[in-house]
């Protein structure tokens, strides 16, 4: 049964709401004006990175001990949500910085944390996460990238695919097989630097949405790295990867919330101004019902996401990266919020009619961007498997 305080822990505090107001104002002023251009040109949103770094919002999750803000999980959700409300591509800056660096936070040595989290906190570097491969997507344990011990070094060879912000990030958490006989228990995690000899990148993928966030393959050709760049003990990499996803699926839920909120806000404004049959279309009951359903789904998704963020924070504070309740709630939040975002953005396009289908309005971009939230960090079919195995 729920304890007496369980339903208070994820209620946004006054500080969270103040953070929301400040991030929303920043996003409207410094990120939104470039969102359409970033999408149209498929270019990295440098203006967003500059604005986020200047305001210490690019990686708020980094612990204070490493020079970061030490923000809680809900604060990270609020930042991602408000940036995604105007530009989904830009929201992947704080989201993927957390995804890439969280294995170091959870399992890295103190030396590794200081070496890589401090520059991240200062805005001098970005972090990406290398798990998926051409033949190992949903079955991540089937990866083929190898790391072989050679004296005081490890030598990496292999290919990682679908790597968000690849080529822009300076640091990469890379999962590689160190003992092929043990399958998932033979996988270890490493920090690889962009400048390490033998690291290279494929051409950017041509995607349906989030076009401003580069997605590329990362190649490792006899990449030799010091042994102290291993994250945690040998053979614990896959466990660390799954623990990381328990926490970071919530950030994808946050991104979905933001996209959906942006679409709903735009649609609400439109239906009050657009007139047909002599009155605003927002006066018609059919339109009102659509808006009501959109708002209802968004409210439910937000509550589930915030509840998951509270559990994430409790697990982190407890010094553990793994908790069955968090596993369920993280998967549920990501799955439900992304499904809701796809439905809400699709309905928002419908409310604008033909105008919604054109690039003169932002909703078709939001609809395209929403789709990926149902796919990455585990497809929603995989999320349902995860939930079924971890029923509360």
Cα-based distances in Å from 37 to 80, 258, 269? 20, 19, 22
Mention every residue, 6+ apart, whose C-beta is less than 8 A from residue 118: 66, 67
Angstrom distance (rounded) from CA 253 to CA 336: 8
Cα-based distances in Å from 160 to 130, 145, 146, 157? 6, 8, 11, 10
377 is known as an active-site residue? yes
Catalytic pick from 133, 217, 364, 377?
377
Q: DSSP letters along 266-332, please?
A: HHHHHHHH-EETTEEGGGSHHHHHHHHHHHHHHHHHHHHHHHHHHHHHHHHHTT-S--HHHHHHHHH
* Displacement of CA 121 from its chain's centroid (Å): 17
Query: How many degrees, rounded to 5, is the angle at CA 43 between CA 266 and CA 101?
Result: 90
Q: Do 216 and 166 meet the contact criterion of CB atoms below 8 Å apart? A: yes
Beta bridge partners of 201: 218
Angstrom distance (rounded) from CA 347 to CA 356: 10
Three-state secondary-structure class, residue 200: strand
Q: DSSP letters along 3-44, please?
A: -TTTTTTTS--HHHHHHHHHHHHHIIIIIHHHHHHHHHHT--
**Three-state secondary structure readout of 229-255:** HEECCCCCHHHHHHHHHHHHHHHHHHH
Residue environment code for 21-39, b if the CB has 16+ CB neighbours within 10 A, otherwise e: eebbebbeebbbebbeebb
* Displacement of CA 306 from its chain's centroid (Å): 15
Angstrom distance (rounded) from CA 336 to CA 173: 27
* Residue numbers annotated as active site: 377
């Amino acid at each position: 049964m729920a304890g007496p305080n369980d339903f208070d822990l994820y209620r946004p505090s006054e500080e969270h709401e103040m953070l929301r107001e400040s991030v929303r104002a920043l996003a409207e002023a410094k990120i939104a004006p470039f969102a359409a251009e970033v999408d149209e040109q498929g270019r990295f949103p440098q203006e967003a990175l500059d604005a986020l770094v200047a305001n210490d919002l690019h990686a708020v999750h980094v612990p204070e001990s490493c020079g970061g803000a030490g923000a809680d999980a809900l604060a990270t959700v609020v930042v991602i949500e408000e940036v995604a409300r105007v530009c989904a591509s830009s929201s992947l800056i704080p989201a993927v910085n957390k995804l890439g660096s969280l294995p170091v936070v959870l399992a890295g040595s103190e030396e590794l944390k200081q070496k890589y989290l401090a520059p991240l906190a200062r805005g001098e570097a970005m972090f990406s996460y290398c798990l998926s491969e051409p033949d190992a997507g949903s079955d991540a344990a089937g990866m083929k990238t190898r790391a072989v011990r050679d004296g005081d070094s490890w030598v990496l060879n292999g290919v990682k695919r679908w790597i968000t912000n690849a080529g822009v990030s300076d640091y990469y958490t890379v999962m590689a097989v160190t003992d092929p006989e043990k399958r998932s228990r033979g996988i270890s995690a490493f920090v690889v630097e962009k400048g390490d000899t033998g690291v290279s990148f494929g051409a950017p993928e041509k995607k349906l949405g989030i076009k401003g966030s580069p997605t590329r393959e990362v190649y490792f050709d006899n990449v030799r790295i010091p042994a102290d760049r291993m994250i945690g003990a040998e053979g614990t990499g896959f466990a660390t990867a799954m623990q990381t996803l328990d926490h970071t699926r919530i950030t994808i839920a946050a991104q979905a919330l933001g996209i959906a909120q942006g679409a709903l806000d735009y649609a609400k404004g439109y239906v009050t101004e657009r007139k047909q049959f002599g009155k605003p279309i927002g006066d018609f009951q059919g339109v009102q019902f659509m808006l009501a359903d959109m708002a209802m789904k968004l409210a439910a998704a937000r509550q589930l996401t915030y509840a998951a963020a509270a559990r994430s924070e409790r697990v982190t504070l407890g010094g553990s990266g793994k908790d069955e309740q968090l596993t369920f709630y993280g998967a549920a939040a990501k799955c439900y919020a992304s499904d809701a975002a796809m439905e809400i953005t699709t309905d928002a396009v419908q409310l604008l009619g033909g105008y919604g289908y054109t690039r003169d309005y932002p909703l078709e971009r939001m609809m395209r961007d929403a789709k990926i939230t149902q796919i990455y960090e585990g497809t929603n079919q995989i999320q349902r498997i995860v939930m079924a195995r971890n029923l509360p």
